[in-house]
């Protein structure tokens, strides 16, 4: 049996649930780890598996990232390759359906998730991008009809000083240009989701459970 390339946390559906399961890979942001995205587990329907990898770059003890510097083109390629290698191996390790593999990322993790969707749309069924952005290099990948009908959820705070809301709006435009079905939401918060954001995210995931 294959082994996964990154340390991770996982939650499988109840034993009486038919497999293979749809799966959500949660991708943490700067100074996160495989545990921090668990706060969003409650938004995902119980019939989904959840797998949460730890980013490969250790910044501080127990604090990790996918890339150290956002303007590092080589680091960006390595981060994207690391996430791609992890998710392509998932069906060899857990009883998950590769045709229903979703990404949910926060901040830097959202950026990486959207970039992977654009670079390899056949690999990803949809993305929930929370307080994130689309990396500069990935904007040029948004060719017309590339993401025809792919579901994307974007949630962002208008008071976000870490990732300005203008970057979320730019990501929306690029993804819609590529044909994605974007559900876009702004909230009166900073670099986080509020209660309404959690409710909207939960409703979006419920829609994905009935494709």
Alpha-carbon distance 32 to 109, whole Å?
10
pLDDT digits (tens, 9 = 90+) for 73-120: 898 999 999 999 999 999 999 999 999 999 999 999 999 999 999 999
**With respect to CATH, is domain 8-208 assigned 3.40.50.1820?**
yes
pLDDT band at 48 (very low <50, low <70, confident <90, very high): very high
Alpha-carbon distance 167 to 152, whole Å?
15
Q: Report the mean per-residue pLDDT for the chain.
A: 95
> What pTM was estimated for this model as a whole?
0.96
Q: Which class for 87: exposed (0-12), middle (13-18), buried (19 or more C-beta within 10 A)?
A: buried
pLDDT digits (tens, 9 = 90+) for 119-148: 999 999 999 999 999 999 899 999 999 999
**Cα–Cα distance list, 136 to 45, 72, 175, 186, 188 (Å):** 33, 11, 13, 21, 26
pLDDT digits (tens, 9 = 90+) for 2-44: 578 899 999 999 888 888 999 999 999 999 999 999 999 999 9
Tell me the average pLDDT across 180-203: 98
Residue the block writes with tokens 């998710």: 87
């Amino acid at each position: 049996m294959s082994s996964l390339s990154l340390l991770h946390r996982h939650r499988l559906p109840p034993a009486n649930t038919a497999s293979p399961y749809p799966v959500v890979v949660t991708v943490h942001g700067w100074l996160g780890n495989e545990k921090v995205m668990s706060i969003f587990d409650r938004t995902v329907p119980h019939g989904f598996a959840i797998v949460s990898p730890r980013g490969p770059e250790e910044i501080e003890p127990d604090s990790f990232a996918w890339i150290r510097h956002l303007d590092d083109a080589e680091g960006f390629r390595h981060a994207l390759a690391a996430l791609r290698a992890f998710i392509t191996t998932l069906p060899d390790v857990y009883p998950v359906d590769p045709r229903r593999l979703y990404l949910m990322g926060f901040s830097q993790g959202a950026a990486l998730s959207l970039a992977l969707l654009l670079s390899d749309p056949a690999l990803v069924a949809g993305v929930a991008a929370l307080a994130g952005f689309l990396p500069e290099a990935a904007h040029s990948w948004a060719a017309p009809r590339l993401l025809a009908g792919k579901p994307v959820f974007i949630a962002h705070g208008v008071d976000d000083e870490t990732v300005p809301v203008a970057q979320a709006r730019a990501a929306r435009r690029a993804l819609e240009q590529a044909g994605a079905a974007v559900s876009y939401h702004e909230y009166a918060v900073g670099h986080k989701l509020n209660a309404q954001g959690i409710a909207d995210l939960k409703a979006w995931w419920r829609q994905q459970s009935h494709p």
